[in-house]
A = this chain, B = another copy of it.
Amino acid sequence: MKPHLLQNEELKELIAKIPGWEIISNHLEREFNFGDFIEAFSFMTKIALICEKYNHHPNWENVYSKVIIKLSTHDLGGITNLDQKIASEINEIFEK
């Protein structure tokens, strides 16, 4: 997938497509909460595999049962369709 920056209209429509994510200063961000560290880190492991597959990696942090994920495409300076795709796949994993 060749990433392209999402433009105004696309950004407006974006949030409806990836519930839970917010646009915060040029990146997508969502906080996920789990029952404990094992659940949180298992979630991170699944995401790591997806991100490696797309060769597109998040800025993310974890404290115990909380995971905060930030997605953007540095090379293009903003949010792209690739960020959207990965955010969508992360939501699918979370909902399972």
Contacts from A to B (Cβ < 8 Å): 37-38, 41, 44-45, 48, 51-52, 57-64
Taking CB as reference atom, which chain B residue is nearest A68?
Answer: B61
Tally of this chain's copies: 2
Residues of B within 8 A of A52 (CB): 37-38, 41
Indicate if the CB atoms of B64 and A61 lie closer than 8 Å: no
Structural contact, B60 and A64, CB atoms closer than 8 A: no
Q: Evaluate contact between B63 and A59: CB separation under 8 angstroms.
A: yes
Inside 8 A of A57's CB, which chain B residues have their CB?
37, 63-64
Expressed in whole angstroms, the minimum distance between the Cβ of A71 and any Cβ of chain B is 11
Could you say which of B45, B48, B61 contacts A61, with CB atoms under 8 Å apart? B61
